């Protein structure tokens, strides 16, 4: 079994990243098979429960209020619509529902109360629940944990050195603080980044170093390819090479061998063969469903056909156990 390390250096990660491609994929595939069921893929569905109007200036994001991207602002989604979306996702094969809100940070108000109710409602469907709501305080993370939240997504996006080029409205340390609060509340951490922002390879390696040197590796690391959106500062960025995605996935798999590595945004531009290379390199999670918040994504039917072709199978919900709050609630109900 591969040793799990938390002291990777940039030089070590760079050496892995620059390994000849086929050798890199072979090494990552070998580690993947040693540490998990390589044919099992965790499927998540991502919905936008509050769209547009965000005060952040993330250079890639169509939901930033300062950019004219054609995204209409919508208030928080009614709970019954969230439940309907969750039921549709579950029927399509998803084991996790991720709810995203275009907020800079969570505020202790009625909208957050509504999110707490949504978390409880989706839990009752026997699905894992993930949220991405912006920055969290300790107490807010604990409220989500008490409601039974399974995972919280808060991506680093890029390296600390490159961060101010992409976002100026919050700091890198604030991102890391939110991850600390999530971890303290014993919620599963989901944190990764985006490639194709105009970053250097050194930036990619630095971001992976930060993630791999956290006190505990994120349970999930999404690797996103930028989907350029008209009206954003990065609208004219060229499509990132699929081989860059393969290198990022393989490197992530090698340095964080037990982490779920998610092939995330950008899949609509990939052929089945290109996605197969990503799975071979160690990806074992995807987003499925027609949209990722506001950008296109392959449908459930398309993905299930690909799974059948490649011999992959969806991972069941709660394979690694339920959140403590949900466990306790079920135990009480059973008494």
Tell me the C-alpha distance between 218 and 225, whole Å.
19
Tokens of 206: 């630095």
Residue 69's Cβ-side half-sphere holds a number of Cα atoms within 13 Å equal to: 27
Contacts of 334 (CB under 8 A, 6+ apart): none
Given a cut of 70, whether residue 16 has pLDDT beyond it is yes
Given a cut of 80, whether residue 324 has pLDDT beyond it is no
Tell me the C-alpha distance between 49 and 77, whole Å.
5
List phi, psi (to 5°) of 67. Answer: -105, 145
Q: CB of 51 within 8 A of CB of 293? A: yes
C-alpha distances out from residue 307 to 42, 284, 303, Å:
12, 12, 6
In this prediction, residue 155 carries a pLDDT of: 94
Report pTM: 0.90
Q: What is the pLDDT of residues 127-172, one digit of tens each?
A: 999 999 989 999 999 999 999 999 999 999 999 999 999 999 889 9
Torsion of CA 159, 161, 162, 165, to 10 degrees: 140
Closest CA to 250 of 86, 18, 53, 5: 18
Tell me the C-alpha distance between 235 and 222, whole Å.
21
| Catalytic machinery residues | 54, 58, 61, 98, 130, 190, 262
What percent of the chain has pLDDT above 90?
A: 60
In this prediction, residue 41 carries a pLDDT of: 92
Tokens of 45: 């569905």
Q: What is the pLDDT of residues 260-274, one digit of tens each?
A: 999 987 888 889 999
Tokens of 114: 């509504």
Tell me the C-alpha distance between 243 and 246, whole Å.
5
User: Computed from CA positions of residues 1, 28, 150, 105, in that sequence, does the dihedral angle turn out positive or negative?
Assistant: positive
DSSP string across 69-123: -SPPPB-PPPHHHHHHHHHHHHHHT-SEEEEEE--SB--SSHHHHHHHHHHHHHH
Tokens of 44: 């998540």
Q: What is the pLDDT of residues 210-238, one digit of tens each?
A: 999 999 999 999 999 998 888 888 888 99
Contacts of 170 (CB under 8 A, 6+ apart): 56, 104, 135
Tokens of 138: 């300790």
User: Computed from CA positions of residues 20, 40, 88, 182, in that sequence, does the dihedral angle turn out positive or negative?
Assistant: negative
Query: What mean pLDDT, rounded, does the chain reach?
Result: 87
Q: What is the pLDDT of residues 54-76, one digit of tens each?
A: 778 888 888 776 776 666 667 78
User: What is the pLDDT confidence band of residue 93, given thresholds at 50, 70 and 90?
Assistant: confident
Q: CB of 192 within 8 A of CB of 151? A: no
Tell me the C-alpha distance between 192 and 102, whole Å.
18
Tell me the C-alpha distance between 52 and 75, whole Å.
9
Tell me whether residue 22 is exposed, middle or buried, using C-beta atoms within 10 angstroms of its C-beta: 0 to 12, 13 to 18, 19 or more.
exposed
**Helix residue ranges per DSSP H, the chain:** 10-17, 21-35, 79-92, 110-123, 138-146, 163-166, 172-184, 201-212, 242-255, 272-280, 300-310, 324-334
């Amino acid at each position: 079994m591969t040793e799990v390390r938390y002291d990777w250096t940039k030089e070590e990660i760079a050496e892995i990243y620059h390994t000849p491609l086929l050798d890199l994929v072979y090494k990552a595939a070998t580690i993947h098979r040693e540490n998990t069921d390589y044919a099992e893929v965790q499927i998540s569905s991502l919905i936008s429960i509050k769209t547009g109007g965000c005060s952040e200036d993330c250079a890639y994001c169509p939901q930033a209020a300062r950019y004219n991207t054609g995204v209409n602002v919508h208030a928080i989604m009614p709970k019954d619509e969230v439940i309907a979306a969750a039921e549709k996702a579950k029927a399509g094969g998803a084991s996790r529902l991720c709810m995203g809100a275009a907020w800079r940070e969570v505020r202790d108000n009625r909208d957050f109360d509504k999110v707490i109710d949504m978390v409880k409602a989706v839990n009752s469907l026997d699905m894992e629940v993930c949220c991405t709501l912006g920055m969290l305080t300790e107490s807010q993370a604990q409220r989500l944990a008490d409601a039974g939240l399974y995972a919280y997504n808060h991506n680093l996006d890029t390296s600390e050195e490159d961060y101010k080029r992409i976002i100026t409205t919050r700091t890198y340390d604030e991102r890391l603080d939110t991850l600390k609060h999530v971890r303290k509340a014993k919620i599963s951490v989901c944190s990764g980044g985006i490639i194709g922002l105009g970053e250097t390879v050194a930036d990619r390696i630095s971001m992976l170093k930060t993630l791999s040197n956290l006190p505990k590796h994120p349970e999930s690391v999404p690797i996103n390819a930028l989907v350029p959106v008209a009206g954003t500062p990065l609208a004219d960025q060229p499509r990132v090479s699929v081989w860059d995605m393969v290198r990022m996935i393989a490197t992530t798999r090698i340095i964080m061998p037990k982490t779920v590595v998610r092939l995330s945004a950008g899949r609509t531009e990939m052929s089945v063969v290109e996605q197969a290379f990503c799975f071979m390199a160690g990806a074992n999670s995807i987003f499925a469903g027609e949209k990722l918040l506001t950008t296109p994504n392959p449908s459930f039917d398309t993905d299930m056909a690909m799974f059948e072709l490649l011999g992959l199978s969806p991972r069941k919900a709660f394979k690694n156990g339920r959140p403590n709050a949900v466990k306790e609630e079920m135990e009480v109900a059973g008494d």
